[in-house]
Amino acid sequence: MLYDGARQRGEGSLRIRIRRTSAGVNAIWFAHWKKAGERGKKQLGRFPDMSLAEARAKFTDEIRPLVKASPKPKIAIAHQNETPTVENLFIKYVAHLEAREAGSAPHVKHALLSGKYNAADQIGRSTLAGDVTPSDVRKPLVAAAKRKALRTADIQRTCMSAAFGWGMRAANDYTQDVTYDWGITSNPVAAVPKDPRANKARDRNLSPEEMAAVWANLTDEGSGDCARLVMLCGQRVQETIKVDGREVDTARALWTIPAKKTKGRKHQHIIPLPPQANEIFKRLKRWHGDGPLFPARTGSKAERMGFLAVSHHIASLKCCDAFQARDLRRTWKSRMGDGALVDRFTRDLLQQHARKDAGGIHYDHTDYLPQMRTAMVKWGKWFEKNVAQVAKKQRKPQDDDMKMAA
């Protein structure tokens, strides 16, 4: 056994084992290490098929970082080809989310890898994941705070925490055929406190008068129709954007959201439609058929219109005090209670907030469809009287002329 001279304490060593056999002499490159009182080794290749330079490169680039990062390098080397860097950790975590078709995957990728102020660049893409400290985690957060982007910093902190937490679990996930040991013994983000200023609960909801003004000023296509449907149906903006024509039965006035498009991603959600929403869906289906009812603009790489399109359209309205797209869902919940006088349980059912207790999860399998349909009929009548008719009076005559011409 011969040792390569280039070795450092605690990082393993490169060796070549030479043996005489009946077929002649063979030589095999090995990586050896000792950690936590246990010895380990891994075969790298045969000489002369693998030269000394190639063996040194493989040992330096692949084995030494794993040995240095992992408390159990034998596990890491047995199941992992990638060097356990921050960049590879974030890439694998995003791929994990995409494989699950998680709606958050694009946002997490932007925060961790591809955005202008992504975490990977600021921590150091080649930094070993197991070497990241709370001080390293603070770097992108401090930079965001200096830009007064407190909400962005909070989202980035959440994404990093989830990625490092996933990395810790990935080494011990017995449900997976392939495991990855990233050398993470504790989540470095846990030591960085959340900023309470970044997550203030919003309470903005529109009055009936404001709803009428907004209804009168929204466009009848794209982001405007999406906002209208949120006002009418009370569903999340993202769920509304993702609707396909095949999911809406206008003959029965029913909208079925598949499980994979819901926030919980476990059960489909069926919403009876008020007449105004059903008419909008009929128009959208005439234009777009069974595919995406809110397709992206021509030339876009995305399949569907984005959340920002709705946000920007709403921000452009000057008909009432400022509000956000998400506030329309809160408005629906509030006005359906104090306006249409629908009970809280039914409103929770319609917004996927009910049946979160043991009885609702494990025992109650009633669909409550008749009850929800009755509630939506009441809501449609209230909306027509207090919003649609008032908005019609506010709309300028030339707007109606242009609409008829189109």
For residue 139, pLDDT beyond 80:
yes
Q: Read off the pLDDT of each residue in 104-130 and give the average, rounded to a whole number.
A: 91
Residue pLDDT, tens place only, 164-183: 999 988 777 766 655 677 88
- The band of 28, judged by pLDDT with boundaries at 50, 70 and 90, is confident
Residue pLDDT, tens place only, 209-240: 999 999 999 987 899 999 999 999 999 999 99
Q: What is the pLDDT, as a whole number, of residue 4? A: 63
CA–CA separation, 122 vs 125, rounded Å?
Answer: 8
Q: Supply the pTM of this predicted model.
A: 0.69
Residue pLDDT, tens place only, 292-333: 999 988 777 778 888 888 999 999 998 999 999 999 999 999
Residue pLDDT, tens place only, 178-206: 567 788 888 999 999 998 888 778 899 99
Provide the mean pLDDT of the chain.
Answer: 86
Q: Of the ranges 42-46, 103-107, 136-140, 295-299, which one carries the lowest mean pLDDT score?
A: 42-46
For residue 9, pLDDT beyond 80:
no
Q: What is the pLDDT, as a whole number, of residue 78? A: 46
For residue 66, pLDDT beyond 80:
no
For residue 289, pLDDT beyond 50:
yes
Q: What is the pLDDT, as a whole number, of residue 70? A: 65
Residue with the larger pLDDT of the pair 112 and 73: 112
Q: What is the pLDDT, as a whole number, of residue 404? A: 41
Q: Read off the pLDDT of each residue in 117-142 and give the average, rounded to a whole number.
A: 92
- The band of 386, judged by pLDDT with boundaries at 50, 70 and 90, is very high
CA–CA separation, 91 vs 108, rounded Å?
Answer: 10
Q: Looking at mean pLDDT, say which of 3-12, 65-74, 354-363 comes out highest.
A: 354-363
Q: What is the pLDDT, as a whole number, of residue 2? A: 61
Q: What is the pLDDT, as a whole number, of residue 1? A: 54
